[in-house]
Structure 1
Amino acid sequence: MPDALEAFAQPTLVGRSSSHFTRVARIFAAEMHIDYSFQIVRDLMSSDPGDYGGNPALRIPVMRTSRGVWFGALNVCRELWRQSSLKPRVVWPEQLDEPLLANAQELILQAMATEVTLIMSTLADASGANAHHAKMRTGLVNMMSWLEENAKSVLAALPPHRDLSFLEVTLFCLVTHLEFRSVLPMAPYSELKHFCQHFATRASIGETPYRFDP
């Protein structure tokens, strides 16, 4: 059992300001009005789980709280919501029970993971000249084309009486991160760009910009 001081301690978010998965958690923290301390992962090539807040998968984000350690953006976001006194109306992935919405969420998360793999593989092999790399990039382009084509329908199908959705936050973080890391030009994706321009008016977006940690 945590002692009284530990129970009231701020959660600690382990991640990087340049990470889209970390930004998902940071946006949720801002939306929930939850204060936290931020522990930066300095070396993404490290194979020590201790450098990733104890996550054996060697991935971020991770959040340490008085209740325990939470691995991954979705787990972190759920716990931030539970800790919030505001309890805004959030649409979670399990509520997306129609193919269009469920497939959109799946492709967003797959595209985020694929982008990470492309970035990390480029760091390991600057040439990027291999069949697997080419397949991943093709898959990423295919996923972004599907999201562009279906963006209007997806957003229109979300429950109207919501304050936030995990889908919208992850979509925003994906599209803006592709530009931030120059992985894929976003100019051809007008619907996704329009969505991001609208979503960026939220205060939580201005509080969580991408940047490279010193």
Structure 2
Amino acid sequence: MSVAREDVTTPVIVGRSSSHFTRIARIFAAELRVDYSFRVLRDLLSSNPEDYGGNPALRIPVLQTPRGVWFGALNVCRELRRMSSLTPHVVWPEELEAPVLANAQELVLQAMSTEVTLIMSKLGGTAESAHQSKMRTGLTNMMAWLEQNATTVLATLPSNRDLSFLEVTLFCLVRHLEFREVLPMTSYEELNAFCQKFETRASAMETTFRFDT
């Protein structure tokens, strides 16, 4: 259901059920028990900012709230945390002071953006260029690094955390690569083991990737 910005009385997340960036926001909403309405972006090739909840970058997710509009997954998650009546220990990107953690977060977000570019290029019907080939190689390299360092990353995160932006983004990335068939993930044993554990959370089960109809 489309909700005009001036009519928002409860939170609205604008996005797609097939989007890994959207799923990050929806997992945080579920974990933080923040009720929201979901407005689906129907046309990924639209150039109308209003279809993207007013985001001039033409990106999702967007969170519309009574006090304003928030662009991007991290901004949305921070606002959901502020809106929540719960007080979980959430580990944010700026708290990742160990190099292995900071680098993992950087590579996860880079890999997510790279994947989107490859998907959109294919959707646009363009033949793969040398630049896109380089991006695909970079994506494979990033996933190999994350696989190699997954155990260390998870062991280095604060043990008393309830949730971390890094884990949510990593989970969404790995499962999305499978869902969109961008990169086969069967050989990534450490990443798959992490995902199998994470997806037992109710928030993950409630936000399974699917194509909106």
TM-score grouping bracket, smaller chain normalisation: over 0.9
Displacement of 1:127 in angstroms is 3.6
Secondary structure of the structure 1 residue equivalent to 2:54: coil
Counterpart amino acid of residue 97 in structure 2 = D
Output the amino acid matched with 2:65: T
Alignment partner of 1:122: what SS?
helix
Give the deviation of 1:7 after TM superposition: 10
* TM-score normalised according to structure 1 size: 0.95
| Equivalent AA in structure 2 for residue 52 of structure 1 | Y
Deviation at 1:123, TM superposition (A): 1.1
Q: Which amino acid aligns with 1:155?
A: L
Whether 2:52 is the aligned partner of 1:52: answer yes
- Paired with 1:171 and 1:108, the residues of 2 have a C-alpha distance of 6
Structure 1 position 125, deviation (Å): 2.4
Q: What is the aligned partner in structure 2 of residue 175 from structure 1?
A: 174
Equivalent position SS for 1:111: helix
Aligned to 1:15: 15
| Post-superposition offset of 1:188 | 1.2
CA distance in 1, matches of 2:8, 2:35: 11
Tell me: CA distance 1:8–1:63, structure 2 relative to 1, closer, same or farther (3 Å). Answer: closer
Deviations 1:112-144 (CA, angstroms, capped at 9, x unpaired):
00000000001112542x101100100000000
Counterpart CA distance in 2 for 1:10 and 1:29 is: 13
Q: CA RMSD in A?
A: 1.3
- 1:148-163 equivalent positions in 2, closer than 5 A: 148-163=147-162
Match of 1:207 in 2: 206
Match of 1:141, SS?
helix
How many Å separate the matches in 2 of 1:28 and 1:11?
13
Match of 2:3 in 1: none
Q: Structure 1 CA distance, aligned partners of 2:168 and 2:196?
A: 13
Task: State TM-score, norm by structure 2.
Answer: 0.95
Q: Report the Cα offset of residue 67 of structure 1.
A: 1.1
- The residue that corresponds to 1:101 in the other structure is 101
* Secondary structure, counterpart of 1:160 in structure 2: coil
Q: Which sections of structure 2, spanning at least 5 residues, go unmatched?
A: 1-5
Does the C-alpha gap of structure 1 residues 80 and 7 become closer, same or farther in structure 2, counting only changes over 3 Å?
Answer: farther
**Structure 1 Cα separation of the partners of residues 10 and 202 of structure 2:** 21
CA shift in 2, pair 1:189/1:213, >3 Å? same
Listed as ranges, the gaps of 5+ residues in structure 1 are 1-5
- Classify 1:165/1:7 alpha carbon distance in 2 versus 1 (closer, same or farther; 3 Å): farther
| Residue identity opposite 1:183 in structure 2 | V
After TM superposition, list the pairs within 5 Å mapping 1:124-135 onto structure 2: 124-125=124-125, 127-128=127-128, 130-135=129-134
Count of residues in Structure 1 that have an aligned counterpart in Structure 2: 208
Q: Which runs of 4+ in 1 moved over 2 A?
A: 6-9, 125-128
Contact in 1 for aligned 2:8/2:64 (Cα 8 Å): no
- How far off its partner does 1:14 sit? 0.3
User: Which string of whole-angstrom CA distances, capped at 9 and with x for unpartnered residues, describes residues 68-104 of structure 1?
Assistant: 0000000000000101111211000000011110000
